[in-house]
Each structure stands twice: as structure tokens, then as C-alpha cells.
Amino acid sequence: MDHPDTPLNPSAAPQPPAGETTKAVTAGIEPPAFEKATIVVQSGDFDKLQSAFIISNGALAMGMEVSLYFTFWGLTRLKKDGGLDSGPLSKMNMLGLGKWMVKRRMKKAGAVSLERLAQDFKELGGKIFACDMTMAIMGIKAEDLRQDLIEEYCSVGTYIEEARHSTITLFI
Amino acid sequence: MADTSLDVRGETCPVPLVEVRKALRKAAPGDVLEVVGTHPSSKKEIPMAVKALGLELLSVEEEGDTWTIRIRR
């Protein structure tokens, strides 16, 4: 049975006004609505996307809200015809040989795919924002992108507005 | 007695943590969740998440490579 409206669901938690600290412990289980991680995903490298989603899913699992801002090379990984995991390794890619080896070792170690990480991210209430300037520069239309993953299209102002209220903010 | 059981044996970072959170979201307040796993860091980190979520950690037991954590939502 699903209980989406219980306080464990951060999106259901009442949002305190900006700048005000509260101890939101209604029913003893509500994470403070403030605890937020905001991450810019600028890189399209396979290993960096892996890091971004693992950190995000950890943060969501530990009760934080998470927003990922996909821009530039990161955004190209959200293209329908691109494939989330189609990027090269940031180091030692060796024309794909290095990546092939890393993927094989990941499989052996039981590491999950980027697609699985992205699905878990959505299920736990994470939000993905797509940079509209990158879309204009690269000639990417909304219908070219994975709209099943994207929450909103925006630019820097939305990122700053979230980042200034975040306890974790990273640029990957 | 646990109301829900979760088996994450063989799963690695961040799956045990994520699956615990998913199971807790589905549980009703007061329900007990029992998680069995083998990923070493998760044995420490699931209790951290339980604390961060303000829930009750009932027990952490270990036998060989396998740990069992019980949580009350």
C-alpha cells in the first residue's frame, strides 16, 4: 500500500518561507523541508553522470530534496536518441575500450545502470531541469528530449534560486 | 515481527539505501521494516539515513557477511 501523502514524502511537506529555519519534525519523521541538494550536470561523461545520480539518490534516500540542472554536454545525454550512458569516460576512455572495461567491471561488482539510477531518482521525487539556452545553442527541441525525466525547462535564475537555499550544491 | 522485509543481498551503492527509502515510503507509520544485505558501507549508512529521517532504529545484527537492520517507521 502506498502512502504518498505521509510526511516521509518530502514533496508533501509544507514549505517554510525562505530564510526561516524550522525544525520540521511533525510525526517525528519529517526531514526538514530545507535540506536540499542542487547539482549542475554540465558534463556528459559517463562516469560523471554516474557520480551525479549516485550522490542524488543517496541524498534523496537520506531525506533531502534534490534538483539536477542539466546543461551543455550533460543535457545532450537527455536526448531521446542519445542514451543516458552513451558518454565517454572522463579519463582513459581509449576510444571506448576503457569505458567497455569499466562497464564490465561495474556489472561484475553489481553496480546498477544509469537508467536504473534515473528511474530511482524520479521515484524518490528528484527533479530534473533542462537548460533552455543549451537547447537553443545546440538546436535541441523539447520533443527531442527525455520528457519522462524532465520536470521543467529553465535558465540560470531558477538554479540560483534553488542553490541559494541548498545545503549541498555541486557542479559536475 | 517485521511488517515488511527487504532483501538487498548482493546489491551495492546506492541501491540498499535507495530501496530502504522506497520501502519506508510505502510503509505505514509504525510499521517495522527488516532489511537484509551484504554491502559493507550500507550497514553504517542505513542507520544514518534512519536518523536523518527521524525514524527509530530497532536493531543492527551481523552474521558473517550478512547484516540485518530493523527500522520502525
CATH code (residue B53): 3.30.110.40
| A2–B54 C-beta distance less than 8 A | no
Ramachandran region of residue A17, left (φ > 0), alpha (ψ -120 to 50) or beta? beta
What was the pLDDT predicted at A30?
A: 52
Residue B56 is assigned to a structural domain of this protein: yes
A12/B contact by beta carbon, under 8 A: no
Could you give the CA distance from residue A56 to residue A118 in angstroms, rounded to a whole number?
A: 10
A60/B contact by beta carbon, under 8 A: yes
Domain that holds residue B12: 4-67
Q: Is B53 a catalytic residue?
A: no
Ramachandran region of residue B30, left (φ > 0), alpha (ψ -120 to 50) or beta? left
Could you give the CA distance from residue A75 to residue A145 in angstroms, rounded to a whole number?
A: 9
Residue A73 is assigned to a structural domain of this protein: yes
Residue A15 is assigned to a structural domain of this protein: no
Number of domains composing chain A: 1
| A8–B24 C-beta distance less than 8 A | yes
pLDDT band at A33, cuts 50/70/90? low
Determine the distance from the C-alpha atom of residue B68 to the mean position of all C-alpha atoms in its chain, rounded to a whole number: 7
| A58–B48 C-beta distance less than 8 A | no
Q: What is the ipTM of this complex?
A: 0.90
Alpha helix stretches (DSSP H) within A68-143: 72-76, 97-109, 114-123, 132-138
Per the structure block, which three cell numbers stand in for A57? 539518490
Radius of gyration of chain A (CA): 17
Closest in B28, B49, B73 to A62, CB measured: B49
The average pLDDT across A4-29 equals: 46
Residue B73 is assigned to a structural domain of this protein: no
Residue B72 is assigned to a structural domain of this protein: no
pLDDT tens digit sequence for B14-70: 999 999 999 999 999 999 999 999 999 999 999 999 999 999 999 999 999 999 999
Domain that holds residue A77: 34-171
Question: Is B17 in contact with A112 (CB distance < 8 Å)?
Answer: no
| B10–A8 C-beta distance less than 8 A | no
Give the residue from B61, B1, B5 showing the smallest Cα distance to B33. B5
Residue A119 is assigned to a structural domain of this protein: yes
The proportion of chain A whose per-residue pLDDT surpasses 70, expressed as a percent, equals: 80
Residue B44 is assigned to a structural domain of this protein: yes
Could you give the CA distance from residue A29 to residue B55 in angstroms, rounded to a whole number?
A: 6
Residue A51 is assigned to a structural domain of this protein: yes
Residue A2 is assigned to a structural domain of this protein: no
Residue A26 is assigned to a structural domain of this protein: no
| Predicted model pTM | 0.84
pLDDT tens digit sequence for A92-151: 999 999 999 999 999 999 999 999 999 999 999 999 999 999 999 999 999 999 999 999
Question: Is A113 in contact with A85 (CB distance < 8 Å)?
Answer: yes
The average pLDDT across A55-82 equals: 96
Residue B15 is assigned to a structural domain of this protein: yes
Place of cell 550497514: B43
A61/B contact by beta carbon, under 8 A: yes
Is the pLDDT reported for residue A4 higher than 70?
A: no
Residue B27 is assigned to a structural domain of this protein: yes
Residue A121 is assigned to a structural domain of this protein: yes
Number of domains composing chain B: 1
- Best residue of B8, B18, B57 to probe chain A, by most A CBs closer than 10 Å: B18
The proportion of chain A whose per-residue pLDDT surpasses 90, expressed as a percent, equals: 78
Residue A7 is assigned to a structural domain of this protein: no
Domain CATH number, residue A114: 3.40.1260.10
What was the pLDDT predicted at A158?
A: 94
Question: Is A132 in contact with A144 (CB distance < 8 Å)?
Answer: no
